[in-house]
Amino acid sequence: MTTRGRIIIAMSGGVDSSAAAAILVRQNRDVVGVTMKIWEAPAGAREGGCCSMDDAMDAARVCQKLGIPHYTLNAQSTFKTQVVDYFADQYHAGKTPNPCVLCNQALKFDYLFRQGAAFGASRVATGHYARAARFMDYPVIAAADDRQKDQSYYLFSTTPSRLENIEFPLAHYDKEQTRALARELGLAVAEKKESQEICFVPDNDYKAFLRGLPGGHAPMAGDIVDKAGKALGRHEGYAGYTIGQRKGLGIAAAEPLYVLGIDPSANQVIVGGREDLYSSALHATGANWFIPPEELAGLELSAKIRSRSPAAAVELRIGGEGGFILEFAEPQLAITPGQAVAVYHGDLLLGGGWIERRL
């Protein structure tokens, strides 16, 4: 038996976390499978993309096949306050939230580490495609070998003190190798489809979800305006729009129009041409760094403003109270407030923050 101690593997019921658990078992590790019940869909609504009761049962069957214990934990309260409320508040503030990043931090790591003591575990593993690494003698996260599946972007907000005790068994696997391992072991989830939806939003209908929340996030109609403030049309609630959006504006114009900004105080959606979507800098808040920020000076850095966007060369300026500015070598398209920005040195993720505004 390994001397690294008992490890909890977060299991969503999908093929990735199932294969990750299998890899740990093959390493003769002392593994406990844990599924978090995080959300209960309203009566009559279809449950979302992961962590439903069906998914929990899939995870339990995989654990039975692997010969490891499985537990389902009720994390709904934590998820509601730290992820769902954040999601609604960000839309209400005219931003486009990224709840998956917060879920990774608040649930898949912080919550599981807190619960781990009950299982005698001090380590956590997940089915993310990412790698644990070291840089300048600090633990960091690195991009997975399979760049097409790399999920390091979603992990920028991981608590730095947790990194020494986090493992990514799929670091050196691609998706087909992951499925092949599941097939080899006869796991029923080997061909299970991936969900691209946010798990707590039924049918991916954000507007209906926001309308149904207690506390009044109901949309209110307002103007769609150009950069000069001239009304061009009407919207049925600004939360249904995001920076860079072209479809669904309902405006006839000589040239295509795109959403440039959202002004909650005026209840307006601002539109303009594609050229107006480009900007060369952004201001971010809520910084989380895996190495001391003063040691970032002099490093060649790049940043990703979306999970699938290419990393672009940047200059970093650290500000006060967790803020920083990134200046891009080349203008970037549709920098979106509310989204995460992840900062890299080569393939090493060094941290990041939340986009507050483009400059």
Catalytic residues, which ones? 103, 199
Q: CA-CA distances (angstroms) from residue 67 to 3, 24, 147, 316?
A: 20, 12, 32, 48
Two tokens, residue 72: 């389902």
Q: Which residues contact 138 (CB under 8 A, 6 or more apart)?
A: 160, 290, 291
HSE-CB of 160 using CA atoms within 13 angstroms: 17
Q: Which two tokens stand for residue 55?
A: 């998914």
Which CA distances in Å does 294 have to 77, 161, 221, 291, 342?
37, 18, 46, 8, 17
- Residue 214 near residue 80 (C-beta atoms within 8 A): no
Q: How far apart are CA 284 and CA 316, in angstroms?
A: 11
Pairwise CA distance, residues 194 & 181, whole Å: 16
Q: Distances from the Cα of 349 to the Cαs of 209, 293, 345, in angstroms?
A: 33, 13, 7
